[in-house]
Amino acid sequence: MRKLAVFGNWKMNKLLGEARALAQSLKAGLAGTTGPEIAVFPPSVVLSAVARELRGTPVGVGAQNIHYEPGGAFTGEISAEMARSAGAQYTLIGHSERRHVFGETDQWVNLKLKSALEAGLVPVVCVGETLQQREDGATREVVQRQVQAAFEGVESAQAAGVIVAYEPVWAIGTGKTATAQATQEVHAFIRSLLAGAFGEETAQAMRIQYGGSAKPANAAELLAQEGIDGLLVGGASLDADSFCAIVTAAAGQAQQ
């Protein structure tokens, strides 16, 4: 059975009551679901409330972002330990919006990855190229730089538990989706980079998600591709029916 991972990034959406309601709908809609690993990433201010709603269900909870320091004068930030104490089991690292809107560097991504591992969180390291970089033929160059920088100084034993999410920036929130073949090729390239860094066995154990306008209509096709080990879902994760449909598609693929 394939161990697929379907994660929903709520981004800056859902007030407290709305977040609880969505969590309750997911709790009902995904009760008894087996096969894929499932998690949602709510805003930090509602993380603990969502974690309480989903406790004892198949749906885990993650933080959208962490700071790499354990504490200190970093107004507006949360540490990995804070996220964990609020109920997080996962954290996104280096999401494209953190890189391109907030200016996070490859070095920060590396530090955050190490901080997450130290705190016992499962890191989901995001990599991917912009539209300009893609049109310039620089996809592999960008992805290689991001992957190698993110994992610098990380041991194989630690890397095995890290999830990588390939998110072509030009396909996020635009409704555009990379073709299945193009996505599969980048995933294979990422896995080759991981094999070069940590060995073939570790690379094969690591999961590589696709994140770029994944929705119920294309979930099964994407997940049927070799080397695509799950989906990082954006907008579709804000609707319980849509997210449950994607999870159902993953459950079907996991059995194949």
Would the pLDDT of 255 be above 90?
A: no
Structural tokens at position 154: 């990380």
Mean pLDDT over each residue of the chain, to the nearest integer: 94
d(CA 156, CA 154): 7
Q: What is the pLDDT of residue 212?
A: 81
Whether 95 sits among the annotated catalytic residues: the reply is yes
Whether 155 sits among the annotated catalytic residues: the reply is no
Report the domain count for the chain: 1
Q: What is the pLDDT of residue 245?
A: 97
| Domain ranges, residue 210 | 5-254
> What CATH number does the domain containing 245 carry?
3.20.20.70
pTM for this entry? 0.95
d(CA 11, CA 186): 25
Catalytic residue among 97, 129, 167, 187: 167
d(CA 166, CA 178): 11
101 DSSP β-pair partners: none
Least confident of 21-35, 44-58, 137-151, 179-193: 179-193
Catalytic residue among 37, 53, 95, 97: 95
Q: What is the pLDDT of residue 173?
A: 63
Least confident of 13-17, 150-154, 181-185, 194-198: 181-185
Give residue-wise pLDDT tens across range 15-45. Answer: 999 999 999 999 999 998 888 999 999 999 9
Amino acid, single-letter form, for residue 31: A
